[in-house]
Amino acid sequence: MSVRPLRVGNASGFYGDRFAAMREMLDGGELDVLTGDYLAELTMLILGRDRLKDPARGYARTFLRQLEECLGGALERGVRIVTNAGGLNPAGLAERVRALAAELGVPARVAHVEGDDLVARAGELGLGAPIAANAYLGAWGIAACLREGADIVVTGRVTDASLVVGPAAAHFGWGPQEHDALAGAVVAGHVIECGTQATGGNYPFFADLQRDGHDLTRPGFPIAEILPDGSSVITKHPGTGGAVTVGTVTAQLVYEIAGPRYPGPDVTARLDTVRLEQQGPDRVRISGVRGEAPPPGLKVVCNGMTGFANEMTVVLTGLDVEAKAALVETQLRSALAGREPAHLSFRLTGHGDPDAETQQGAGRHLRIVARDTDPRKVGRAFSATAVELALATCPGFHATSPPGDARPDGLSIHVASVPADLVPHVAVLPDGTRLDIAPASVTRPLAELPAPAPPPPPPAGPTRSVPLGLLFGARSGDKGHDANVGVWAADDAAWSWLVHRLTVREFGRLLPETARLPVTRHVLPNLRAVNFVVEGLLAPGAGVNPRPDPQAKGLAEWLRGRRVEIPEVMVP
């Protein structure tokens, strides 16, 4: 069993991330393992469409192009590569990697993990008829491939953190019952899985980092130095941009989670036990993480196409904008009589001022979106009908684009749970041997933890109305139909205010769009954070919901911009 730290870097947080990151990470300093996370719920739909066009596709093709210029260097340095770029076709991508290695004349040992793809069994499992249905596998298939000497491991849909947990388990010889160590690696994996979000990217206090001398022009990608007990240090290569601070790590920790129990196929990590410590410049230690047996079921995400869509955006300027929008809607619905799409929405955005100094400032956008299962109802004829109104409608009418064709509509998401023993988990080793990976033998159903004792209430006295973001950081994102907003405080005084004042009711007051929906608040005292899960805000899914921010990435910044009453003694 090895006792030295394992240095795991990440070079991709999504399909479309910085192309040069793989080379930057390999050239920038010492690594043992380089991971690449290419998958998200929306990505699985994109890959599903690719597979419908060509059954040989269904994987992240960017990875191959990156590897073409990096494979030789990785093998020379002894860096092993673990990636979920296999998407819906890990076997196909693994074969392409072998062919690439042969073309380059390098002896790469390639393995892959499969079994997550349930689309052929969707009906028998009660999952409907999606174009993609994938269970979230764990880390043991990856670990088995690495133990058998793989240089490159390609997976399909595993949990994002498994890309880190698998190498750590193989390196340190952990077993399935070592829940605390596994949970520590899950937390490290969660921190680095989104790439530069851990090193200053998307950080709410980015201006503070800049004032402290950190260059955010091109943040470096993160590294987790994992220790034998599962604790870790988050860092980055020397001389790269960005910063690793308790704040940047906290921001990523509260991103797209739910409650204090963070479930996975191998372990449930207790996020309420996480402790962070700044050990030095760009070094944050994560310790104290406790783990529990995983739940008995595996998360399954099913993606489907809801039909076809088209849209037109019309600019309305000056006075009576609401009345102008109403006229456009009346005229367009009349013109489409008998062939109106099943779903036709009109959304007025912006806050134009008729007395603005510029014409752009005086305008607002009317976004018209049409959806139907029949592409003819939302094709070029639809958008042409909208443009035909130009000389017969409200004054100043103009569109932002010419008529366009229908496009396949985006994502409908159904999240389910399937018993783990119904999902195959197979490690296909470098020599072609197929090794079945058993599901967790000990499981524990998820249950809510009792609410922790709150700190003393904030001081009484005069208050001042200030933006919430003056004192508090926040980050938000999507989880299927739901939105997640994590909010944290930098010190104990602010934490006292946060936990007592930012209740579910106050959250709904500040963000009226959420007030009609079920909202759950979870408290994480060690991180001085609260996490809000807003159910249904993103329904029916990130690809098709009508919000201008369909993945809720800006929801946290809207919250931070809202004004609240803060005790004057706390205001900077």
Confidence of residue 150 (pLDDT cuts 50, 70, 90): very high
**pLDDT score at 74:** 98
Confidence of residue 15 (pLDDT cuts 50, 70, 90): very high
pLDDT digits (tens, 9 = 90+) for 377-416: 999 999 999 999 999 999 999 999 888 898 877 567 788 9
pLDDT > 80? residue 158:
yes
- How far CA 544 is from CA of 44, 403, 481, 524, in Å, comes to 14, 20, 11, 32
Residue 453 within any structural domain of the chain: no
With beta carbons less than 8 A apart as the criterion, state whether 266 and 299 touch. Answer: no
pLDDT > 80? residue 487:
yes
**pLDDT score at 45:** 81
pLDDT > 60? residue 440:
yes
Both 213 and 276 in one domain: the answer is: yes
Q: Considering only 8-22, 262-276, 388-402, 530-544, which range has the smallest mean pLDDT?
A: 530-544
Both 293 and 311 in one domain: the answer is: no
Confidence of residue 53 (pLDDT cuts 50, 70, 90): confident
| Cα–Cα distance measured from residue 79 to residue 237, given in angstroms and rounded to the nearest whole number | 15
Average pLDDT, whole number, for the chain? 94
Residue 458 within any structural domain of the chain: no
pLDDT > 90? residue 61:
yes
Mean pLDDT for 512-530 is 96
Confidence of residue 544 (pLDDT cuts 50, 70, 90): low
Residue 450 within any structural domain of the chain: no
Both 176 and 52 in one domain: the answer is: yes
Beta-bridged to residue 201, according to DSSP, are none
**pLDDT score at 415:** 87
Residue at a domain's end among 367, 392, 409: 409
Please state the three-class secondary structure of 132-188 as a single string.
Answer: EEEECECCHHHHHHHHCCCCEEEECCECCCHHHHHHHHHHHCCCCCCHHHHHHHHHH
pLDDT > 80? residue 111:
yes
**pLDDT score at 410:** 59
Both 245 and 320 in one domain: the answer is: no
pLDDT > 60? residue 166:
yes
| Cα–Cα distance measured from residue 246 to residue 498, given in angstroms and rounded to the nearest whole number | 18
Terminal Cα-to-Cα distance of the chain (whole angstroms): 51
CATH number of the structural domain spanning residue 362: 3.30.70.380
**pLDDT score at 4:** 83
Residue 448 within any structural domain of the chain: no
Query: Into how many domains does the chain fold?
Result: 3
pTM for the whole structure:
0.91
Both 399 and 261 in one domain: the answer is: no
Which of the pair, 546 or 336, is modelled with greater confidence? 336
Which tokens sit at 267?
A: 């372990």
Both 14 and 130 in one domain: the answer is: yes
**pLDDT score at 1:** 46
Peptide bond into 457 cis (omega under 30): no
Both 115 and 195 in one domain: the answer is: yes
Both 45 and 171 in one domain: the answer is: yes
Both 363 and 391 in one domain: the answer is: yes
pLDDT digits (tens, 9 = 90+) for 449-485: 988 888 999 988 999 999 999 999 999 998 878 999 9
Both 298 and 311 in one domain: the answer is: no
pLDDT > 60? residue 263:
yes
Mean pLDDT for 75-99 is 98
Residue 445 within any structural domain of the chain: no
| Cα–Cα distance measured from residue 223 to residue 438, given in angstroms and rounded to the nearest whole number | 30
Which of the pair, 21 or 131, is modelled with greater confidence? 21
Alpha carbon dihedral 95, 194, 512, 504, in 10-degree steps, equals 110
Which tokens sit at 49?
A: 């469409």
pLDDT digits (tens, 9 = 90+) for 195-214: 999 999 999 999 999 999 99
**pLDDT score at 2:** 47
pLDDT > 90? residue 49:
no
Both 312 and 278 in one domain: the answer is: no
Both 326 and 293 in one domain: the answer is: no
pLDDT digits (tens, 9 = 90+) for 343-371: 999 999 888 899 999 999 999 999 999 99
Residue 319 structural domain: 307-409
Residue 90 within any structural domain of the chain: yes
Residue 93 within any structural domain of the chain: yes
Confidence of residue 543 (pLDDT cuts 50, 70, 90): low
Residue 457 within any structural domain of the chain: no
**Strand ranges, E, within 327-433:** 343-349, 363-372, 398-399, 407-408, 411-419, 426-428
